[in-house]
Amino acid sequence: MRLALYEPDIPQNAGSLMRLGACLGIGVDIIEPCGFLLSDRNFRRAGMDYLKSADICRHQSWTRFRDDFSARPGPHRLLLLTTKGDMAYTDFAFAPDDTLLVGRESAGVPQAVHEAVDARLVIPLRPGLRSLNVAQAAAMVLGEALRQTALFPNPLPGKE
């Protein structure tokens, strides 16, 4: 399982997601261009010392990411977390080789990305409220995906 960030534009969110990936053993794909430098102080502060433990793969563009993604061996799906989703993430059956994709905090993803994914998942919210922070949304959905696939690292003693 992997987490992909489409042209991230808030360094604190990207740093938090890379920290999440490091702690849970989930690789993180960064689809550039980013709206900040990866040396940004806020990015480093959010990721703290966890960044050196993170499995980070940078892709120069959406096209390069799609080429790299398509070349991966075995079955794998690209799942977009979006307010324009057509299925609640709680109703979706996740697989171990899925990649969860989040868009830019400021603009989401373009229509071409919507059309290229295997599923568009939404987090059900109260009426009149628009969206969650991308880091919070990714953490919620990733938690459910790891639960369904039994991929959480370091199980509690006696629960292996």
Give percent above pLDDT 90 in the chain. Answer: 62
Once rounded to an integer, what is the mean pLDDT over residues 85-106? 95
What burial class does residue 132 get, using C-beta atoms within 10 Å of its C-beta: 0-12 exposed, 13-18 middle, 19+ buried? middle
The H or E element spanning position 90 is none
**End-to-end C-alpha distance for the chain, whole angstroms:** 19
Instruction: Give the integer Cα–Cα distance in Å for 73 and 56.
Output: 19
pLDDT of residue 30: 93
pLDDT of residue 130: 86
Provide the 3-class DSSP secondary structure of residue 114. Answer: helix
- Tell me which residue has tokens 């919070």: 136
| pTM attached to this predicted model | 0.89
What is the sign, positive or negative, of the torsion defined by CA atoms of 75, 86, 17, 143? Answer: negative
Once rounded to an integer, what is the mean pLDDT over residues 66-83? 93
Q: What domains are there in the chain, each with its CATH number?
A: 2-149 (3.40.1280.10)
Give residue-wise pLDDT tens across range 4-51: 999 998 888 888 898 899 999 999 999 998 766 566 565 555 555 777
